[in-house]
Structure 1
């Protein structure tokens, strides 16, 4: 089975938006029409199709239409600069571009076949020439997703049909516990709200996860806390996902006072502080559960089961849960190591083989530790760990202390070069009130941290710089310290 078949088994209404509902039959018909157009344009199995589209049902149809034609779907971010798009197209060598009339100008200087998509319809607007040496992958590659570029230049990560399906099925098995899908068919399927751009793997993954579970999706063109609260109420959502940046927006939006019937939020894409999770629970009565995965691995590899949430949800706020069935996770020299069926077979992209051991363990680059009950906790990136005169400072632990102080909205800790100690921790804080001072926070940290972990400086910012998936871009903060 390929990912392209998932839309055949969803409810009658497959996609909900703020303005419209789209039926499954219309979504499938649109995907089939696109597949035929791509075949006419010369697409053969394993060739790349580049897509720049908004968050709507037509984009979902583009995803499945590409797969039904045997293509490798590659989303391009509309927010990316023209130079970045040009570099990506040069690397991808796609046989066609799918976009909207409004975004078509981004590709006017490229001699490529261009297909417009709008309202589930498709129009071939440019009959440019596909490259003579188009990039080609194996038939098992479903999608290329460019990395976020937080630790280096963005590069395309191939994701395979079987790998993604395998990880989704493992997560569903963990979430359902002893229940089977058949045992839950007496309850109307709850759609999966997707608060992320479909130009990101995290957004696409949530669509695939919903369809595999037999549910529809609710798409947000642009995230806003009032719209989020309204959609939760309209669709009577009992659970949903949110990246930390969106969760923080909801938490601090005074216009949002009620999120019922929401019971659980699964935090995705980046670590969420247990302090923020506790504040969200206290304000809305909603339990926040972290999860963990990486694009390079194909999806989520650590998470929570329903049974774990009932037993441990309140006492282990901030943990990312326990490994999914059949996934091995270990912590070696403070770094999280993961072994999946794909990595064990060493069938990952050659670009990432340097992160793979001979035994199939993948270096995630994340800092973490296991507690006595087998729950994994994250402490930031290995590259973010601060070596203060030979003593390790884990940024996550310091950030949690800062967030627990009254008046702190967001906090990030970065290592800054120091002539005597090598590097020292600086804190960058977005505060809720100007009355909070640097001395106040330094004093608070001294009361709650061992001396070498206390930041030497606290710099106040309006907001933390984040990339499109909500991760804090710490190199931007380090650059501020050098000014």
Structure 2
């Protein structure tokens, strides 16, 4: 029952809080450092010999997930979070693909037959169910820490193996950049984490909190009013939010103040400048972007306090500058580097990269991210969209995010999503899905005319759909392919487009 030397279990073992101090707050409970360590050690003892083998946790509740994560590392295993909100079929497929030695589950979660399972019937009480005919579990190298699945916005979700060293170094790099080289002063404030611990965004921020010696507050499901209450209760001055969460806060009529919050770092998805302005306009809170991918192992670009003082709103919408040791290159379709200011695909060489991106890494170690962007003269990275999202309208390229930003400027549009829909004549044409502002009924012709005043004619959507919301991943990324699959152009629209 030993953790990897220098591994991520040390974030718990070496937490500087007094043992009787709460370090983990859930929806209805809290755990002191002593209680969390005791719970993790009890579970680690129940896991059995799992050195280098995956331990899957069907995550239904954050405190249990954190306990299972540290218990896995104390036992020498590799942690595999499985989202408890998945269907029984999806959970079964996830477990079959990860081949865990043991599955850890809560009272209400579904675990299919064929897996050794530890189920928590009540806090700290684990019952075991064995599967005598289960197959041989997977095995990883000694430094493997966690297996995370990518978000699956552009295709099937893929497993990525992260190492203890890579995660630790990535977190330490972000901490050093945020502190500007200065040692920590006053005790860190609690880290309010609005993302599920089933997601890398949630687990990474939990580890970040423990690395700086802060307690963590877990929200298993984001709800605007509850979030605002937690900000007030714990005196949160800075936190992270996904763009979709910011939009929910802006639009909720009962959330009018987020004091004492002063700074939000946007995570998990690109944040449009219009969304940042709307959030700042309502709450007076500064919004900073950041950038990373699971395969890159960590956040690789972001802002510092010095950047905010130097540039402020002039760079609103940029995701920041490269962290130390990270090299960012913008390239044309053939891989040729592009000069500052030109848009192309983003290639990144990161010391925290996982090595799980075969076929996407060049001879110099740069990962082909699949994102479009540009670097300005000051080294700030601007995300323009996804290569796979680009609409090719008869040979004319359209970046959906540019059209979306224009449509968001219309007073009756709360949010917009643009995607390419197959067209027999042109290959693809842009269609816009619109989420109207409350109490409004936008007119399709008026929206088209509004877009035409700001965009070249070929970029104007050929049709508009009005929806209550968009299909999203757990972290709020819009699933464009689902919109396209569910709502093709009608014959009348195709005929109108052809004329």
TM bucket (normalised to shorter chain) is: over 0.9
1:417 to 414, 422, 431: 422
The superposition leaves residues 437-460 of structure 1 with CA deviations (integer Å, 9 ceiling, x where unpaired) of 111211111111122222222211
1:219 counterpart residue number: 218
1:200 counterpart residue number: 199
The superposition leaves residues 157-202 of structure 1 with CA deviations (integer Å, 9 ceiling, x where unpaired) of 1111111111111111111113212xx1xx2320111101111111
2:347 to 337, 351, 366: 337
Please report how far the alpha carbon of residue 419 of structure 1 lies from its aligned counterpart in structure 2 after TM superposition: 2.9
1:301 counterpart residue number: 300
1:190 counterpart residue number: 189
1:279 counterpart residue number: 278
Is the 8 Å Cα contact of residues 380 and 394 (structure 1) preserved in structure 2? Answer: yes
The two structures, once aligned, show a CA RMSD in angstroms of 1.6
Question: How many residue pairs end up in the alignment?
Answer: 468
Please report how far the alpha carbon of residue 363 of structure 1 lies from its aligned counterpart in structure 2 after TM superposition: 0.7
The two structures have a TM-score, normalised by structure 1, of 0.93
Gaps of 5+ in 1: none
2:373 counterpart of 1:368: yes
Please report how far the alpha carbon of residue 4 of structure 1 lies from its aligned counterpart in structure 2 after TM superposition: 1.1
Distance in 2 (alpha carbons) for counterparts of 1:437 and 1:308: 41
Please report how far the alpha carbon of residue 310 of structure 1 lies from its aligned counterpart in structure 2 after TM superposition: 2.3
Distance in 2 (alpha carbons) for counterparts of 1:296 and 1:47: 21
Is the 8 Å Cα contact of residues 93 and 131 (structure 1) preserved in structure 2? Answer: no
2:59 counterpart of 1:53: yes
The two structures have a TM-score, normalised by structure 2, of 0.91
Structure 1 runs of 4+ aligned residues shifted over 6 Å read none
Please report how far the alpha carbon of residue 21 of structure 1 lies from its aligned counterpart in structure 2 after TM superposition: 2.4
Distance in 2 (alpha carbons) for counterparts of 1:453 and 1:132: 53
Q: Secondary structure at the match of 1:427?
A: strand
2:410 counterpart of 1:400: no
2:493 counterpart residue number: none
Q: Secondary structure at the match of 1:354?
A: coil
The superposition leaves residues 425-473 of structure 1 with CA deviations (integer Å, 9 ceiling, x where unpaired) of 1111100143321112111111111222222222111111111111000
1:460 to 428, 452, 466: 466
Q: Secondary structure at the match of 1:52?
A: strand
Is the 8 Å Cα contact of residues 58 and 119 (structure 1) preserved in structure 2? Answer: no
The superposition leaves residues 325-381 of structure 1 with CA deviations (integer Å, 9 ceiling, x where unpaired) of 1111111121111101244xxx613xx211111210101111111122211111111
Distance in 2 (alpha carbons) for counterparts of 1:18 and 1:10: 24
**Shift in CA distance, 160/475, structure 1 to aligned 2, threshold 3 Å:** same
Alignment of 1:108-127 (within 5 A): 109-117=112-120, 120-127=123-130
Distance in 2 (alpha carbons) for counterparts of 1:420 and 1:236: 57
1:32 counterpart residue number: 41
Q: Secondary structure at the match of 1:482?
A: coil
Distance in 1 (alpha carbons) for counterparts of 2:64 and 2:95: 22
Select between 223-232 and 3-12 the one with higher mean Cα deviation. Answer: 3-12
1:473 counterpart residue number: 479
Is the 8 Å Cα contact of residues 10 and 24 (structure 1) preserved in structure 2? Answer: no
Please report how far the alpha carbon of residue 128 of structure 1 lies from its aligned counterpart in structure 2 after TM superposition: 2.8
1:440 counterpart residue number: 446
Gaps of 5+ in 2: 1-5, 333-343, 490-499
Is the 8 Å Cα contact of residues 73 and 144 (structure 1) preserved in structure 2? Answer: yes
